[in-house]
Structure 1
Amino acid sequence: MKNTNILLAGSTGYLGSYLLKVLIEKQNQVIAIARNPNKVEHRNEDYLEVKQAEVTNPETLRDICKGINIVISTVGITRQKDGLTYMDVDYQANMNLLKEAVKSEVQHFVYVSAINGNFHRNLKIFEAKEKFVDALKSSGVAYTIIRPNGFFSDMKDFLRMANSGRVYLFGSGNQKFNPIHGEDLARAIVDMLDENTNEITIGGPDVLSLNDISKLALSALNKPIKIVHMPDFLRRITIWGLRIFTSAKTYGPIEFFLTLMAEDNIAPPFGNRHLSDYYNQEAKNFI
């Protein structure tokens, strides 16, 4: 797609920054909204306009979609902070955008959720995301739900464990999934903007087990392969205990990762960036 007026929400985040880069490369007219405009990268006077707004504050979004053809929202949080909950951000902030999109008769709304979110509505993070997905589907606006597998950036936790000399896994470690690099995902999203597809599940080119990922992380840091497998019942007890004795702010991200990593999550592959290369590059930051 080229020369289209696109509003990008979440432009300073991991995926949003790559989307901004690719959209500008494709010569789209982009309005990037950001709470802190100075954090917006890939400045280009010909194709980019930055507007200061807070998606959690609807007053700052008034008429933000005027003249816009497509809205792309990567708005969402993994860890709750600044007093904001998943419902405040993943649901209500996106609802604020959707209301403006409906008012301005936007042609297409693209929302980035996560793989299998529709099957895990019991998790706090997905409860909010899928509530918005339901609202988007019933809004009357043409929509696309993007359901990516884990981001490479999420895989840094394995590097952090590996840096201590051991990686700890629940269960056998044979659970498989194919995480995707942010730029590969951004290119896939931009490529499909011309298509009439309601939902897309997507992952990276390499299907890896948790054992494979652990070995890659340890090898990138030149550590001996030491993987400790803990009984899976400890994972279930951990989730239960956190739900009982801590707030959603604490247990939300932990139950998200522990639940999804307990099962296979294999998405249709896309892209040409590999986790091994990403780890080798990121490992330099641990030296």
Structure 2
Amino acid sequence: MLLKTNNKRILLAGGTGYLGGHIAKAIQERGLSARLLSRKQEKLKQYESSKIQIMEATVTEPNTLSRSCDGIDTVISTIGITRQKDGFTYMDVDYQANLNLLREAQRAGVRKLIYVSAINGDKHRDLKIFEAKEAFVDELKKSGLEYTVIRPNGFFSDMKDFFQMARKGRVFLFGSGEQLMNPIHGADLAEIILNMIDEPANECSVGGPDVLTQNEIAELAFDAQGRAPNIWHLPDWVRRFSLWSVRTFTSVETYGPIEFFLTLMANDNVAMRYGTHKLRDFYFAEAKTN
């Protein structure tokens, strides 16, 4: 698999984010040939080498993408926003910016595009974040390019919310707290994304190696900080009322990430198990550095 990949040039868009940084590092470690896009070249300067080119481009401005995909075999896009800011909406970034990149990939004759969405995005198209992501997936599927849509479970970085609540002395959960999930480390996700370059899978949901309840995640967060667990279980009507309230009384800029969090927290979110990194180790490392 890797021998094939070594002969192909990759374009990475979104390399300055959490996941994108792990992918850029993995590209570098594998000695792959790549072009990394960034609004400011200096943000990715550390990866520049004879095999890795840094190109300045702004994906929301299609004219800056001109020739970005020339000589590229596979485009990897982690472009997306959790919170709307700088005047950009989910449709501006998660949909239109990715569509700009797709059109340039088509023009350049790129073979494949790998797009990173989120777990169960296809089942929650009513959420503002997923509305934009899945609209782009629809365009990708009819583009004529080979494609893989990867739907990862929550990142370890997202699990810092549990850690921060534990630091303050209590963790709030909705319902029983027995909802299951298997969050994934960025390094493990980067590995499987690069492996997908030569795999035929069109869609893939992936999570980390350990399936945990929300209660267990909270307990790990307390344990890493040497604290006794203090978990408060709120009735689910509080979650539902909160959802209604933010949708009714706040703007989409405010409620977009909140409805995403409140909706996914209510259900099991378990994907294919992959990787070696453990959430427990991540929390203990966080406790040492904070």
Structure 1 counterpart of 2:155, from 151, 154, 160: 151
Q: Is the 8 A contact 2:205 2:272 kept in 1?
A: yes
Q: Does 1:129 align with 2:142?
A: no
Structure 2 counterpart of 1:78, from 82, 88, 112: 82
Partner-residue secondary structure (3-state), 1:12: coil
Identity of aligned residues (%): 56
Structure 2 counterpart of 1:57, from 57, 61, 76: 61
Q: Is the 8 A contact 1:165 1:224 kept in 2?
A: no
Amino acid at match of 1:185: L
- Distance in 1, Cα, partners of 2:216 & 2:64: 46
Deviation at 1:224, TM superposition (A): 1.5
- Distance in 1, Cα, partners of 2:46 & 2:202: 29
Q: Does 1:252 align with 2:256?
A: yes
Q: Does 1:17 align with 2:26?
A: no
- Distance in 2, Cα, partners of 1:2 & 1:47: 11
**Higher alpha-carbon deviation: 129-138 or 215-224:** 215-224
Gapped runs of 5+ residues in structure 2? none
Partner-residue secondary structure (3-state), 2:47: coil
Partner of residue 200, structure 1: 204
Amino acid at match of 1:61: L
Deviation at 1:103, TM superposition (A): 0.6
Q: Is the 8 A contact 2:156 2:185 kept in 1?
A: yes
Partner-residue secondary structure (3-state), 1:56: coil
Structure 2 counterpart of 1:267, from 259, 265, 271: 271
Please give the per-residue CA displacement for 1:205-258, whole angstroms capped at 9, x wherever unaligned.
Answer: 000000000001111111221000000010000011000000111111111011
Q: Is the 8 A contact 2:175 2:236 kept in 1?
A: yes
Moved >3 Å (runs of 4+): none
Partner-residue secondary structure (3-state), 2:273: coil
Gapped runs of 5+ residues in structure 1? none
Partner-residue secondary structure (3-state), 1:169: strand
Deviation at 1:196, TM superposition (A): 1.1
TM-score by length of 2: 0.97
Partner of residue 41, structure 2: 37
Aligned residues between the structures? 286
Amino acid at match of 2:224: A
Q: Does 1:228 align with 2:221?
A: no
Partner-residue secondary structure (3-state), 1:40: helix
- Distance in 2, Cα, partners of 1:182 & 1:137: 25
Partner of residue 106, structure 1: 110
Partner-residue secondary structure (3-state), 1:76: coil
- Distance in 1, Cα, partners of 2:203 & 2:246: 32
Deviation at 1:42, TM superposition (A): 4.3
CA RMSD of aligned residues (A): 1.0
Partner of residue 68, structure 1: 72
Please give the per-residue CA displacement for 1:60-89, whole angstroms capped at 9, x wherever unaligned.
Answer: 111211111110000001111111111111
Amino acid at match of 1:31: R
